[in-house]
Structure 1
Amino acid sequence: MNNTLVFRALTLSLAVSFLSPAIAQNARTIASTVSPSEEQTTTSRVSDEQQARDWGLHTEEWARYRQLMQGPLGIFSPNLDPLTALGIEARSEEEGDRYAELQVQVEARRVEKTLAYQRAYDAAWQRLHPGMQRVILPSQTPGNSSTTANSTDRIAVFIKDGCAPCGLAVQQLQVSDVGFDLYMVGSRANDALIRDWAKRASINPDRVRNGSITLNHDAGRWLSLGLPGGLPAVVRQVNGQWQRQ
């Protein structure tokens, strides 16, 4: 009888010793299949929250922006920034005002950083090449163009993507056959975005090639002019001052 009990105890002990590695392996397998997914979800959630904060938005607003960009708005204007997209699709006047103010604040900070870097660049140029004259490209300053001797005769047009009146304003200028420099606000240095906009606005590519029309990134120029009103903006330099036309 005692021998039988000892045999059963040994059998149970061996069974447990064989099963334990299998149980451990199953636990590792479950962990390996579940943890990455959970980790990815957590990372995505943190990323969304961070991006929302970067634009001054709530997570719910960021989620709505992503939803909007999956619809017609994202197809027609795939590179819209969150504030412009939410502003265009604002559900009330108060909501539109909120996104407009947020965008002004974001653009102002970006311009401030851009100008600070420009000052640092200018200082570095003077230190490294004090005797060398810098070459300023025509598109760096609104109104300056190699196609005209007098910058006061040159028109600058500020537009943005997703703005129907902007396309109409540019088409009217083309009909009048005047030369102008076009600046896209909010382009984020995306060349494809401004080229696609020019195609949709039916800008004559021959006039772009010969320089009578130039396509440029705004890079904070519109805010630096400090002019009232929204876009589109057709401006000209008069007696050293930029004025809307």
Structure 2
Amino acid sequence: MASQLLPRIQPALAFALPAALLIGLASALAGGDATSDTRLSLPRDSREVRSEEQRAEDWGLLAEDWARYRQLQQGPLGVYSPNLDPLTALGIEARSDEERRRFAELQVRAESARVTKELAYQRAYDQAWKRLYPTLQVVTLTAAANSSPVRLQGNGRLALFIEDDCIACNLQVRKLQAAGREFDLYMVGSDNDDARLRQWAQQVALDPRSVRERRVTLNHDAGRWASLGVAGELPALVRQVGGQWQRQ
């Protein structure tokens, strides 16, 4: 009886053993792949963490500051001001006076360093322009920019009133330009001096193409700011809403 069962058992074992080996091999391979995936994912995650840490360090921020900035970007602030820099965003949404002062000081230092580098590059740019195009002007004022009606007529566009030698004004212009906004700029106290307005535009690195395409216009104030009756200091970003000029 045993001899009759043996031929049946032996083929069964012959097939069972390779199946077990195959299952073990598949399991080993699966385990190897999982281990490999884990090994590969760790450096990738580490790179992402380092990248976030580096971004925080670029702005002089702590890791928790950067995490809060990321959180703010997902909320209303990110909708209203999607291109706001981390220091401004964190300063606006500061949770205490001490925190607000810290971000303000960080931003002043960062802006000072950036402006210093930008001015150095602007001087190099001006020198290169004079060498390559000595007879051309970098910024050409349009005919509309030279007109000077006393009152400002609302046309739905943003109007930005600035004055010369005003760091806050320069920063406002750079932010609008970086965000791709269209606006009409008016320099208060320019005395209708085109050269002065043109020189200022070069100093703040206003995009000449934006001026040529009239996405940004350069104008002398010529009394417009006083005629609006809007309170507060310059810079002033305003828009006419319901017949009234309001700060934006």
Q: TM-score, normalised by structure 2?
A: 0.53
Shift of 1:74: 1.0
Q: Which residue of 1 aligns with 2:42?
A: 38
C-alpha distance 219-38 of structure 1, shift in aligned 2 (>3 A): farther
Contact 1:83 1:99 in 2 (8 A): yes
**Displacement of 1:16 after TM fit?**
9.3
Q: How far is the alpha carbon of 1:44 from its aligned partner?
A: 1.8
Give 1:120 shift.
1.7
Distance 1:84 1:148, change over 3 A: same
CA drift of 1:90 comes to 0.9
Pick aligned residue for 1:190 from 178, 185, 189: 178
**Letter of the aligned partner of 1:148 in structure 2?**
N
Whole-angstrom CA distance in 2 between matches of 1:218 and 1:119:
9
Residue 21 of structure 1: CA displacement?
4.5
1:123 to 1:134, Cα distance in 2 relative to 1, 3 A: same
Answer with 1 or 2: which has the greater Rg. Answer: 2
SS in 2 for 1:147: helix
Shift of 1:186: 5.0
| Aligned amino acid, residue 52 of structure 2 | D
Which residue of 1 is the match for residue 31 of structure 2?
27
Q: Counterpart amino acid of 2:92?
A: I
Tell me if the contact between 2:56 and 2:66 (Cα under 8 Å) persists in the aligned partners. yes
**1:56 partnered with 2:60:** yes
Q: How many residue pairs were aligned?
A: 170
Give the unaligned 5+ runs of structure 1. 1-10, 155-172, 204-215, 222-230, 236-245
The match for 2:135 is 133
Q: Which amino acid aligns with 1:233?
A: L
Q: Percent identity of the aligned residues? A: 40
TM-score, normalised to structure 1, is 0.53
Within 5 Å, give how 1:149-168 maps onto structure 2: none
TM-aligned CA deviation for residue 75 of structure 1 = 1.5
Q: Write out aligned runs for 1:171-186 (5 A).
A: 174=152, 184-185=172-173
* Distance apart, 1:123 and its partner CA: 2.8
The aligned counterpart of 1:82 is: 86
In the other structure, the counterpart of 1:95 is: 99
> What is the match of residue 243 of structure 1?
none
| 1:7-44 Cα distance to aligned partner (Å, 9 max, x none) | xxxx9x98997677545422331034334443332222
Structure 2 runs not aligned, ≥5 long = 1-13, 163-168, 185-200, 207-231, 237-248
